[in-house]
Amino acid sequence: MVRFSPMNNSLERRTFLGLTAMATAAAAVPRAFSQSTQPSAVASTHLPVRLGMCSYTFRNFDRAHLIGFLKQLEIFTINLKDAKDHLPSTSAADEQKALDDYKAAGITPTAVGTVYFPKDEDDDIRAKFEYAKRAGVKVIVAGDPAAQILPRIERFVKEYDIAFAIHNHGPEDKIWKSPLDVLKAVHGMDVRMGCCIDVGHTMRAGTDPVAAIRAAGPRLHDVHMKDLAERNVKESQVAVGRGLMPVREIFAELARIRYPGYVDLEYEIHGDDPMPGVIESMAYMRGVMAGMGWKS
């Protein structure tokens, strides 16, 4: 395993935080999961909820460090953003090198984004879908597309068979504050036109994340997980499990709707040293899942 000397001094602290969070979560969450919400997937090789990672969490680190961190976390799926050299979009050679590095490490890209769509032009939109196609993903997490260009984008969704998941960004977002805004805009369109629900921004927009997931149903194509100590305060983000986010209820609703995608941790604080909070967040979520009777 690759070890990174700047982080080694805090390794024991991380291990302690992770194990403590996991034990707390497993003890706090009832193991019984009612038959009314437990899908048949529980008995399959796939867990009802699959955890992944947003590469934006490690935006201050290059690809080699990102891969090393994922191995430490035992996370082998990634939502890739064009940040640092995670998945460059400006050079075909650099892009292919990144994809080769992930493949060699046993890491599978599951989505790209956030990708922005500022132009109502076929060439610009096609370039973004080609980028996703080359990455081998079936989901584009999209930022701030104007509502009027969605019918044009829908044509590419049908052509490429790649879902278009609009990421809500909370009260500051001029268009997509809540997943409910997205659902209104894509009503009647192809079901692959839908949401990436960021549960933190959803909560700050005054929308219940569980209700948003229920409303999205088959239009839910990605989930970004985070936690908040204060419901309306962006700067109050904390490690998952330390705040107000109803994690167990979110997981139960995802299982109920048979959500086929990933819950990608997007830890946006402590950018220069995110691993303690990331480890605690992943351990908490894994502990919740264990407490619900889900074992890999």
What CATH number is given to the structural domain containing 145?
3.20.20.150
Residue 14 counted as domain residue:
no
pLDDT at 90: 87
Does residue 77 have a cis peptide bond before it, meaning omega lies within 30 degrees of 0? no
| Percent of the chain with pLDDT strictly greater than 70 | 84
Residue 255 counted as domain residue:
yes
Q: What is the DSSP string of the chain?
A: ----HHHHTTHHHHHHHHHHHHHHHHHHS-S---TTT--GGGGSSS-SSEEEEEGGGGTTS-HHHHHHHHHHHT--EEEE-SSTTSS-SS-HHHHHHHHHHHHHTT-EEEEEEEEE-----HHHHHHHHHHHHHHT-SEEEEE---GGGHHHHHHHHHHHT-EEEEEP-GGG-SS-SSHHHHHHHHTTS-TTEEEEEEHHHHHHTT--HHHHHHHHGGGEEEEEE-EESSTT-GGGEESTTSSS--HHHHHHHHHHTT--SEEEE---S-TTS-HHHHHHHHHHHHHHHHHTT---
**Structural domain range at position 245:** 35-291
Residue 8 counted as domain residue:
no
Q: What is the pLDDT of residues 240-261, one digit of tens each?
A: 999 999 999 999 999 999 999 9
pLDDT at 296: 59
Task: Give the chain's residues under pLDDT 70.
Answer: 1-46, 296
Residue 10 counted as domain residue:
no
Residue 127 counted as domain residue:
yes
pLDDT at 14: 46
Residue 234 counted as domain residue:
yes
Q: What is the pLDDT of residues 177-234, one digit of tens each?
A: 999 999 999 999 999 999 999 999 999 999 999 999 999 999 999 999 999 999 999 9
Total tally of structural domains belonging to the chain: 1
In angstroms, the CA 1 to CA 9 distance is: 16
- Please state, as a whole number, how many other Cβ atoms lie within 10 Å of the Cβ of residue 59: 15
Residue 216 counted as domain residue:
yes
pLDDT at 29: 44
Residue 26 counted as domain residue:
no
